[in-house]
Amino acid sequence: MESSKSASDAIVFKPRTAKWFAGITWALLAIGIVAAIVVHGMAGLLTAWPLLALAYFGWWVFWYPSVEIDDDAVTVHNLMRSITVPWSALINVDTKFALTLVTTRGSYTAWAAPAPGVWGTHRGKPEHVRGLPLTTYGAAESIRPGDLRNTDSGTAAFYVRSRWAMLAEAGRLDVDATETIPVVKSIHWVHIGCASLLIASCFLAFASV
């Protein structure tokens, strides 16, 4: 799992595998372009659109999704849209299938923080269930597999719940605004447009061969 902090103590969480999968697609792009130039010369670049599309989707699918946490809100960056949930609007954090932010107006799942499968669950150790925020635990201190600290969903949930608890203890949550404060959603029209153009360019490149 990857996370980074800025000077304002914002945390940006990305799954640990993101850089590997994205890196593979970018490496394939570089290898493909070199091979096309060696075989066809500079004209080979005209057939590189599928490789560019592959690299773009590698960035969009693997590298772009993230969970951003700061003192104002939690922002989930998914493929098609981003959702910003102010802390005062949050009523629960779930990890059954992935990190899910629950509000009175709906639930919002993070593409970047899926819950583990059987293998990921079996890799859990005692230290991965200790020292978690109190809101993590159910009856008899039980937790979901997705709450394990060594998983993507568990790590993201740990960051969200820890910041949520800190703000609550500091009296910085407006509990009276829980049902009225808006959740901000924005569609990634630029990303969608770029993907559409690259797909269209691939068809044109194949048609001209």
What is the per-residue pLDDT for 145?
A: 74
pTM of the model: 0.83
Q: Is the pLDDT of residue 35 over 90?
A: no
Tell me the mean pLDDT in the region 65-69: 97
- Which range among 11-20, 67-76, 122-131, 171-180 has the greatest average pLDDT? 67-76
d(C-alpha 43, C-alpha 73), whole Å: 49
Both structure tokens of 12: 């940006």
User: How many of the other CB atoms lie within 10 Å of CB of 24?
Assistant: 13
- Residue pointed to by tokens 């203890």: 169
Which tokens in the block code for residue 27?
A: 């490496």
pLDDT at 8: 54
In percent, the amount of the chain with pLDDT more than 70 equals 80
Higher pLDDT pick, 127 / 50: 50
State yes or no: pLDDT of 90 exceeds 80: yes
Single-letter code of the amino acid located at 54:
L
Q: What integer is the mean pLDDT of 158-163?
A: 94
The domains of the chain are located at 68-187
Q: Computed over its alpha carbons, how large is the radius of gyration of the chain? A: 21
Confirm if 93 and 164 have CB atoms less than 8 A apart: yes
Residue 13 parent element (H or E): strand 11-14
Mean of the pLDDT values across residues 3-11?
A: 64
CB-based burial label for 28 (10 Å; 0-12, 13-18, 19+)? middle
Residue 94 — pLDDT band, cuts 50, 70, 90? very high
- pLDDT(172) > 70: yes
| Cα separation, 33 vs 30, whole angstroms | 5
Q: What is the reported pLDDT for 7?
A: 40
How large is the average pLDDT for residues 167-193? 94
pLDDT given at position 185: 97
Give the number of other Cβ atoms within 10 Å of residue 97's Cβ: 12
If you search the block for the tokens 């590997």, which residue do you land on?
20
Q: Assign 6 a pLDDT band (cuts: 50, 70, 90).
A: very low
In sequence order, what DSSP letters do the residues of 62-93 get, joined into one string?
IIS-EEEE-SSEEEEE-SSEEEEEEGGGEEEE
73-77 vs 66-69, strand pairing mode: antiparallel
